[in-house]
Structure 1
Amino acid sequence: MTEPLISDRPPAAGCGCGAPVKFDGASPAYRRILLSVIAINAAAFLAVAGGAVIQGSAALGANALDFLADSATYAISLWAIGKSVRVRSGAALLKGASLALLAVFILGFAVWRALSGAPPEGAVITSLGMLGFLANGVAALLLVRHRDGDANVRSVWLCTRNDLIESLVVAAAGGLVWLTASRWPDLIAGGVLALVFLQSAWSIIRQSQQELRDAA
């Protein structure tokens, strides 16, 4: 049987003969999604940062700083939409570098807390960790359709995906602190989150550098 003259397979994006063009975020719907995600992260930062300061928790501190960094980097992503490939990839490179610096800061804070201070309240850590998980879950549902875009778009998804994992780690650390009356679960959680941030930073930096080379 011969194939029909009109195929029901979708054509390749772009020129019609090459690889599909990656989504660059240039749509009103995606801009609205980013604005919503920025608002979610900013609100979560205020809540978690308050708990981190009161409790002196490394895990909550990492969580709060990440919410703050996400708000800023998502705003950069929003600004970069519609710009040239070099600008978008440069914005992603900046986000990757800031994520790596955040990881180093968290590791330093965890070491400092290991040398001083009493254990934080486990119930508070767990409660705020679950609050963060809820906020990140809503953000992830909004962004999941755009997880395979260019470096700028993909970096937003990677940060949100990591935040889901991070919030569960924070909640689990709070439970262990409550069970053991020890600060070590909180400190270990902070260290684990820092390593997750480093892995994501490397992934974002690597993709953005490749896109910059391709655009040269």
Structure 2
Amino acid sequence: MWIILVINALMFVVEFSGGIKAVSLSLTGDSLDMLGDALVYGCSLYVIQKGKKAQAQAAILKGSIMFMSAIAVFARATYQLFAQTVPTVQLMSEIGLLALVANLICFLLLIRHRNDNINMSSVWLCSRNDIIANTSVLLTAGLVFLTGSFLPDFILGLFLTVVFAKSAGKVLTQARAELI
């Protein structure tokens, strides 16, 4: 899991700086998810040998981080609606592809552990969401290229908000059930 933590921390830096430079809501939003994931993996490493209560509490923290990512992406989407700046497609595509490869590696490393316990299940959900987000970034870059508009990037930002919020709800519900 240390490898996954390092991959996510590095990709946060790459995606965040690239998202700012490319003026891309989807890259910036995905970078916040990478940061959240790096924090989540660090927390998971801490509780991996602890009891169910500690794992459930860690899952509550993870769910909360996922929910805060949803709020951050929504806030950035609201800003983008007013700014209407068209993202730089080439940079958006290159960084989106790099992030997809990084997350596929993490996903493959985690897949066999997804049913081990609530902690690993929530970590696997984070990884799955990242692949959805990365694929969406690449599709959005293509749509921005074809339309010359900021709208595809804006729409993806709203979609990511929903994905992050739903996943957060699932993790929080499972964690609460473990605590009862």
- Shared fold (TM-score, shorter chain, > 0.5): yes
3-state SS of 1:149 partner = coil
Task: Tell me the TM-score normalized by structure 1.
Answer: 0.81
Instruction: Kindly indicate whether structure 1 or structure 2 has the higher relative contact order, using CA contacts under 8 Å at least 6 residues apart.
Output: 2
CA radius of gyration, larger in: 1
3-state SS of 2:85 partner = coil
Q: 2: CA distance between counterparts of 1:135 and 1:202?
A: 25
Give the % identical residues.
35
Q: Which amino acid counterpart does residue 177 of structure 2 have in structure 1?
A: Q
Matching residue of 1:132: 99
Select 2:45's aligned residue among 47, 68, 78. 78
Alpha-carbon distance, 1:101 to partner: 1.4
Alpha-carbon distance, 1:176 to partner: 0.7
Q: 2: CA distance between counterparts of 1:154 and 1:132?
A: 21
4+ aligned runs moved over 3 Å, structure 1: none
> Are residue 88 (structure 1) and residue 55 (structure 2) matched?
yes
CA RMSD of aligned residues (A): 1.0
Q: Which amino acid counterpart does residue 151 of structure 2 have in structure 1?
A: W
Structure 2: where are the runs of 5+ without partners?
none
Select 2:2's aligned residue among 3, 13, 35. 35
Q: Which amino acid counterpart does residue 115 of structure 2 have in structure 1?
A: D
CA contact (8 A) 1:120 1:177 kept: yes
Select 1:205's aligned residue among 165, 169, 172. 172
Q: Which amino acid counterpart does residue 48 of structure 1 have in structure 2?
A: E
Q: 2: CA distance between counterparts of 1:123 and 1:193?
A: 21
Task: Tell me the TM-score normalized by structure 2.
Answer: 0.97
Q: 2: CA distance between counterparts of 1:196 and 1:126?
A: 21
Alpha-carbon distance, 1:161 to partner: 0.7
Structure number with higher helix proportion: 2
Matched residues, number: 180
CA contact (8 A) 1:122 1:176 kept: no
Deviations 1:77-111 (A, max 9, x none): 10011112111100101110111111011111101
Matching residue of 2:125: 158
Structure 1: where are the runs of 5+ without partners?
1-33
Q: 1: CA distance between counterparts of 2:68 and 2:129?
A: 16
